[in-house]
Amino acid sequence: MLTLPPELREAFKEPFGPLFTDVEQLLSEAETPIIAVGDMVTYHLRQAGHEPHVAVVDGLTERDAIPDEVRAGLEGAGDRQVELVNEPAALSRDLLVALRDAVDAEERTLLVVEGEEDLATLPAVLVAPLGSSVVYGQPGEGMVLIRVTEAARAEMRDLLVRFDGDADAALATLGV
């Protein structure tokens, strides 16, 4: 549905919110529900005793397979699991629909992506309830907390409409 143009890659180098290396500190500042984007983020939240309302994973961390310990720590995440395909540097219709539906669902949901989940942060912020939190991994640095506000949504929307593809259809798919 959408692909990240090369000239927009720089916009993703800096964190979109405060960076944490301590999961307990992050949880003390996060609002619920929490949407987690990334295997390591989801693992660390679960290890700290917090089950995200939605978790998006792809079995990779920094382009390598996650360690067996992390894979084991993700087993049983969510009350339901949805498998989908999302190519690297892209946002597929399947991912957008799955995120929208998972946020709206009563039960906790694990979205298992074949491909790459890195860009799921943008639509996650757009569909998450105001006042909730989206947490994603910043490679080699830690976890980033985005508090879902109108300003955060506007920032993510501004980035998303600059992707290649039909941004209007993507936003309509998300229901925003």
Q: Does the annotation flag 104 for ligand binding?
A: no
**Residue 58, marked binder:** yes
Q: Say how far apart CA 123 and CA 23 lie, in whole Å.
A: 23
Cβ distance 74 to 43 under 8 Å? Answer: yes
Q: Is 166 marked within a binding site?
A: no
Asked if residue 5 lies in contact with residue 162, where contact means CB atoms within 8 angstroms, the answer is yes
Q: Which residues pair with 141 in a beta bridge?
A: none
Q: Show the DSSP H helices in the chain as ranges.
A: 23-29, 39-47, 68-74, 93-104, 121-127, 150-160, 167-174
Output the six-digit token pair for 117.
């989940």
Binding residues: 39, 41, 58, 117
Binding residues for GTP: 39, 41, 58, 117
